[in-house]
Amino acid sequence: MAEKNMSPKKTPMPEQVPGVRVRNFNEVALGYTPEQALEEARRCLGCKAEPCVGGCPVGVRIPKFISRVAEGDFAGAADIVAQANALPAVCGRVCPQETQCEMECLRGKKGDSVAIGRLERFVADTRAQAGAPGATVASGARGARRVSVVGAGPSGLTCAGELAKRGYAVTVFEALHTPGGVLVYGIPEFRLPKEIVRREIAGLRELGVEIITNVVVGKTLSLDCLLGEEGYSAVYIASGAGLPKFQGIPGENLNGVYSANEFLTRINLMRAHEFPKFDTPLRLGGAAAVVGGGNVAMDAARCALRAGARRVYIVYRRGEAELPARLEEIHHAREEGVVFKFLTVPTRIDGDESGFVRSVECQEMELGEPDESGRRRPVAKPGSTYTLEVSAVVVAIGNTPNPLIVSSTPGLNSEPWGGITADSETGATNRPGVYAGGDAVTGAATVIQAMGAGKAAAAAIDEYIKRL
Ligand SMILES: Cc1cc2nc3c(=O)[nH]c(=O)nc-3n(C[C@H](O)[C@H](O)[C@H](O)COP(=O)(O)OP(=O)(O)OC[C@H]3O[C@@H](n4cnc5c(N)ncnc54)[C@H](O)[C@@H]3O)c2cc1C
């Protein structure tokens, strides 16, 4: 058995240096070499109680796969991961492990936790480099029972893969021209290369999952039509939370004001940063203000820098300690030159005579009493406004589920804030045969939570169909 590595620190991940990466869209984190993976895997204590597994919504057998890595059996490790996770190279890159599996790691009590995400990424990438797709598990024959899935994001794809493994014929209907959901239109290439997503989706197609793009359920086809004339036995709704929120301040209709979703889609799917080679423009000649303090705001700010903005501000209404984004993302944004304007709220966006953004009026804030979320509420500091000269404003203050499916499906219950009402264990809605999960039910959350919901719903759909 290999000797344990008792270093209190994680084996560092090689990265592109800030001055270079800010001029390209290539991946920032470069991945472990086999030697680095072995070194890190030997930090795992192999706890019998497996507390880390409890922190993983899809239940990857973490100590088991890491022990295979420590033995140098990278293919065996990848097999163990693939049994539970259909998108391991994606999750290894974008999961907030520090609040999930790694938070439960015993090594984290006296030093850094084991770098579980980096090892998951390593085994998934190594497997793919050896020519195997990311999620290979024995392919089930396409059965007579048909299930449809609405939305090809991580939740829908996971549910589809699980059902295909159980022998169902599964069709995923996706509104956009390409599958992947936020993984392709939201998360930038420098954090999650689109090729990785394509590779893992190819693995699902090999399982027999059919994906039909450019179909908007609720417009092109109704949910009732899927269950009726189209002959599906059940439907899983995984349509995400793609409806952006705005502040409702004057000037939001000016040219050069984008929701973060639109801004990131223009870059990720339409390659606006290569305009005019690609036919989608972005107005980033001068400075840009990104409003918000979450991961979406960090992604938008870092994209704006790479796409040519001269200077990029993050405008956030609370202080640094309250930033909801992952520490790693904040650190990367700062290294790349993003300027943070804390305790600041935009109050008006001003334009020039042609209707294009010229500046944002900002109000300074201070922190008052805690609000219902437990965080101190920002209150305006009287007489403290100032102006930021910018040519673009990106609003990244949150998203809610799109109301289309609920409004086009008679009798489907929803919450007052727009989420579809579904059982938290099974995803069952009030309509027989209709299940829902992921961001469409919880509101904006995480990739792995959406995947966990897809997996649980697949098991419930299987039970439901067996009873028909
Ligand atoms: C910019 C950004 C960065 C993020 N970064 C991270 C991160 O680093 N780590 C992390 O864990 N989470 C991150 N998240 C959150 C995470 O991506 C989501 O929680 C996750 O993608 C939700 O998965 P989902 O399958 O429920 O929905 P989505 O990924 O939104 O997929 C829903 C799919 O349904 C399709 N659809 C919608 N309506 C219809 C319809 N009527 N008919 C057919 N198809 C439809 C959509 O086009 C979309 O493809 C990020 C989110 C954003 C926006």
270 has pLDDT over 60: yes
State the closest ligand 1 atom to the C-alpha of 181, by its place in the atom list counted from 1.
Answer: 49
Query: For position 139, what pLDDT does the model report?
Result: 47
How much distance in Å is there from the Cα of 235 to the middle of ligand 1?
A: 18
Query: For position 136, what pLDDT does the model report?
Result: 46
**180: nearest Cα among 156, 208, 162:** 156
Query: For position 133, what pLDDT does the model report?
Result: 54
Q: Where are the domains of the chain?
A: 27-129, 146-242+400-466, 246-395
- Per-residue pLDDT tens over the stretch 357-387: 999 999 999 998 888 888 888 999 999 999 9
CATH of 146-242+400-466, one of 3.50.50.60, 2.40.340.10, 3.20.20.70, 2.40.37.10: 3.50.50.60
Evaluate whether 174 touches 167 at the Cβ level (below 8 Å).
no
Query: For position 283, what pLDDT does the model report?
Result: 83
Token digits of residue 452: 């966990």
Q: CATH assignment of 246-395?
A: 3.50.50.60
Give pTM, 2 decimals. Answer: 0.94
Query: For position 143, what pLDDT does the model report?
Result: 65
What CA–CA distance (Å, rounded) separates 174 from 158? 14
Percentage of the chain lying above the pLDDT 90 cut = 88
Band of pLDDT at residue 131, cut at 50, 70 and 90: confident
Q: Do domains 27-129 and 146-242+400-466 have the same CATH topology?
A: no
- Per-residue pLDDT tens over the stretch 59-111: 999 999 999 999 999 999 999 999 999 899 999 999 999 999 999 999 999 99
Nearest Cα residue to atom 15 of ligand 1: 446
Query: For position 132, what pLDDT does the model report?
Result: 66
* CATH T-level fold of 27-129: Fumarate Reductase Iron-sulfur Protein; Chain B, domain 2 (1.10.1060)
Query: For position 138, what pLDDT does the model report?
Result: 46
How much distance in Å is there from the Cα of 296 to the middle of ligand 1?
A: 12
| Chain-centroid distance, C-alpha 142 | 29
What CA–CA distance (Å, rounded) separates 308 from 261? 18
State the closest ligand 1 atom to the C-alpha of 156, by its place in the atom list counted from 1.
Answer: 25
- Per-residue pLDDT tens over the stretch 182-225: 999 999 999 999 999 999 999 999 999 999 999 999 999 999 99
What CA–CA distance (Å, rounded) separates 327 from 315? 17
Residue 187 phi, psi (nearest 5) = -75, 125
Query: For position 48, what pLDDT does the model report?
Result: 93
Query: For position 351, what pLDDT does the model report?
Result: 97
Query: For position 130, what pLDDT does the model report?
Result: 85
Band of pLDDT at residue 56, cut at 50, 70 and 90: very high
